[in-house]
Amino acid sequence: MARTTPQINLNLNVRGMQASATVAINERSNSLIAQGREVLKLGLGQSPFPVPEPVVEALRRNAHEKDYLPVKGLAALRDAVADYHSRSNGLVRTGEDVLIGPGSKELMFLLQLVFYGDLVIPTPAWVSYAPQARIIGRQVRLVSTRQEDDWRLSPEQLAALCEEDPGRPRILILNYPSNPTGATFRVDELRALARVAAQHRVVMLSDEIYGEVHHKGQHVSIARFYPEGTIISAGLSKWCGAGGWRLGTFLFPPTMRWLLDAMAAAASETFTSTSAPIQHAAVTAFRGGEEIEEYLQRSRRVLGALGRWCHRRLTEGGLRCCKPSGGFYLFPDFSTRASALAARGIDDSVGLCERLLEDTGVAILPGSCFGRDVRELTARLAYVDFDGEAALHAVAALGKDAPLDDAFLRRHCAKVTKAIDRMVEWASD
């Protein structure tokens, strides 16, 4: 008797979905490298720096921890996270206001799962916000920001959206310093956004995963101005160089304890708890100290200098790009080369990035992955393809006041500078 293949029915919300763009570009780059191609990897936004030694040592000391921890997280870690936000943002919170998860990405998914409402996303935006909402079946409202505003959401845009249906429940994701643009908000802009959000009772999910890598160490949380309605998302991946450790944190207002509890209930039926050794080690990270502060200062110096260099080189080469304030991203616009690109058969951001990779070996992501129209000739690059540990040692040897000049960057961040040079030359050809 002939065997028949059973009919498989996919959930309509995931049918046709592809792997996350950032994961896909990293896997494709590695595949090309394995084939012998030179690839300059500016696609995946992974910190180039090592995990600080005190945090690594804490993991060694706690490698024997094997028991399931409380679903909300290790009590000592929840307290350390609350204290961290008290020091950095002046927020009065306790460990009871903290939820720990296996990466902030998972916590964002759980938030949308348990909170019924629209997800409001200013674009360009990180690649996974909207797909998560669509998997769950939530309505996504994309708000297109302008390059003239350095891609920042304006209070007027938020007010206009909320006034369409004033009573509708909403979560607004505010990510800054931004992935993909590197831009951040001024204090007056945060105050104005907070006023609108409070007026319309919008739940603010402030994704501050790049807060500690603000290039001048001057990150300000919007929770200072909207404490009753802001959840702060953070973790270890970007400032602590520990993306693969998968540890994220949410800090809630005390009035949202019901939402924290609901997410914890869902977590108990999904991931149960976050890795025990990682949680114990993370206590050291969030408590900070002199050695970790020096690590942060050196990281910021390298990223700030390299970001300014990349921005200057791109803009001098005729591309449009806002100057980065934090993180390790840029969002160049190739529209000034639209006619020349069209003559080469390139008329959208996907084709642009495909041809750039084919012609130069430089891997970046199209702006369409970040919520922009595919016909817009924008792209995101992550300037992280360098040996971060060697760069930190070099900065320490220079001393505090020595500038990180062109020669330093071309020596210690050679792949990034080579990639930017190739991009500019390719776009100008």
Q: At 357, which CATH number?
A: 3.90.1150.10
d(CA 131, CA 180): 16
pLDDT confidence of residue 400: 81
33 and 79 share a domain?
no
Residue 10 maps to a domain: no
Q: Please indicate, yes or no, if residue 419 is contained in any of the structural domains.
A: yes
Report the pLDDT value the prediction gives residue 11, as an integer from 0 to 100. 56
**Residues 47-60: pLDDT tens digits?**
999 999 999 999 99
Asked whether residue 322 carries a pLDDT value surpassing 80, the answer given is: yes
> What integer pLDDT is reported at residue 36 of this predicted model?
85
The single residue listed with the structure tokens 């007027």 is 156
User: 116-158: per-residue pLDDT in tens?
Assistant: 999 999 999 999 999 999 999 999 999 999 999 999 999 999 9
Domain membership of residue 341 (yes or no) is yes
Across 353-371, b (16+ Cβ under 10 Å) vs e yields beebbeebbbbbbbbbbbb
Domain-embedded: residue 379:
yes
On whether both 257 and 342 belong to a single domain, the answer is no
46, 168: one domain = no
Q: Which pLDDT does position 30 carry in this prediction? A: 82
Does 228 map to a domain?
Answer: yes
**Residue at a domain's end among 271, 288, 305:** 288
| 285 vs 20 pLDDT, higher one | 285
Q: What pLDDT is attached to residue 205?
A: 98
Q: What is the pLDDT of residue 21?
A: 61
pLDDT value at 265 more than 60: yes
Same domain, 63 and 210: yes
Separation CA 185–CA 240 (nearest Å): 22
Domain count, the chain: 2
* pLDDT of amino acid 1: 47
Task: Tell me the mean pLDDT in the region 9-30.
Answer: 62
User: Which domain-ending residue is among 234, 268, 288?
Assistant: 288
Q: What is the CATH number of the domain that holds 213?
A: 3.40.640.10
What pLDDT sits at residue 66?
Answer: 96
23-55 per-position pLDDT tens digit = 677 787 788 888 888 889 999 889 999 999 999
Query: What per-residue confidence (pLDDT) applies to 16?
Result: 52
pLDDT for residue 253 is more than 60: yes
Same structural domain, 280 and 306: no
* Confidence label for 20 from pLDDT (cuts 50, 70 and 90): low
Residue 300 belongs to a domain: yes
pLDDT, mean of residues 177-198:
98
- For residue 138, the Cα-to-chain-centroid distance in whole angstroms is 21
Proportion of the chain above pLDDT 90, given as a percent? 88
The domain containing residue 87 runs over which residues?
Answer: 55-288
CB 240 within 8 A of CB 285: yes
Establish if 311 belongs to a structural domain: yes
Sequence-ordered list of residues with C-beta below 8 angstroms from that of 424, at least 6 positions apart, any chain: 313, 314, 316, 317, 318, 319
111 and 236 co-located in one domain = yes
Query: Both 178 and 201 in a single domain?
Result: yes
Give pLDDT, residue 317: 95
Domain ends where: 288, 321, 346?
A: 288
Residues 141, 214 within the same domain: yes
Residue 271 binned pLDDT confidence (cut-offs 50, 70, 90): very high
Residue 353 is assigned to a structural domain of this protein? yes
Cα distance between the two ends of the chain = 63
192 and 64 within one domain: yes
Q: Are 158 and 278 part of one and the same domain?
A: yes
Q: Do 38 and 113 have their domain in common?
A: no
Whether 117 and 170 share a structural domain: yes
